[in-house]
Amino acid sequence: MDAYVVANGQLSFVKIKYNRKSELSLQPPREDKLKGNFRHPSYTTCELLPPRVLSAVIPTPLVKKIIVSLASRLETSVAIIQKYLVPGHIQEWGKVQVDSRDASFIRYNLLVDKHTRNHRREPEFEAQSFFGQLQHIFIVPLPAIPNLGLQPTSFILAAIQNCIVEAENDLDMHYYKKLGHVEVVDMNTVQSGSMARGFYDPNDTS
């Protein structure tokens, strides 16, 4: 028994140090790998899980947010994205795993202009962390866009309802009572597991 405990501890250390959790797992392969899960080579830290909805009917306001997100991602105009995006080709997926964890309440990172309230100053962007509840997961295909040098590809986007964080502590615990607006971000900006220690009281109207 003592030898097993020592060996298991050593294996756990190697998994963490070299980021080889799945390769060194002693558990049998998960069955859901055979049930239509999806991975994209540009999104190595996440895996999409069924159900999948083809040609999903997406509300117009959300489609507009998707277009704005892609325009920002590709550093182009909204008009260009509107020209090439076909809403009926967007797929919606039911769940996502980020770094092997189911993601519901998540942390995500965005570049924010430090001088957003002073339009006379040149934009100066810095990375900031935000928190929210994952509402939708989309695969958005785009054809080749010659003037952007873009080959046919797909983007995985997340629609997230922002949490209005009211306090935090030195243990990276964040507290919130209210949910804010919905925004669409690239899935590569998302980290799971960061909201588990926060709280949300839907009955609190303060």
What is the secondary structure of 162-202 as a DSSP string? EEEEEEE-TTS-EEEEEEEEEEEEEGGGEEESTTTT----T
Residues 6+ apart with CB under 8 A from 180: 132, 161, 162, 163, 164
The whole-number pLDDT of residue 127 equals 78
What does the radius of gyration of the chain's CA atoms come to, in whole angstroms? Answer: 20
CA-CA distance, 171 to 151, in Å (whole number)?
43
For the cut 90, the answer to whether the pLDDT of residue 154 exceeds it is yes
pLDDT(172) > 90: no
State how far the Cα of 87 lies from the Cα of 140, in Å rounded to an integer. Answer: 8
Encode pLDDT of 102-118 as tens digits.
567 778 877 776 656 66
What confidence tens digit (pLDDT) does each residue in 61-111 have?
Answer: 999 999 999 999 999 999 999 999 999 899 999 888 876 665 677 788 777
Instruction: Share the mean pLDDT of the chain.
Output: 76
Strand (E) or helix (H) holding 56: none
pTM flag (> 0.75): no
Q: 194 or 40: whose pLDDT is higher?
A: 40
Cβ contacts of 189 within 8 Å, gap of 6 or more? 108, 109, 110
Annotated domain spans of the chain: 1-29, 35-192
Cβ proximity of 69 and 185 under 8 Å: yes
CA distance 143 to 156: 15
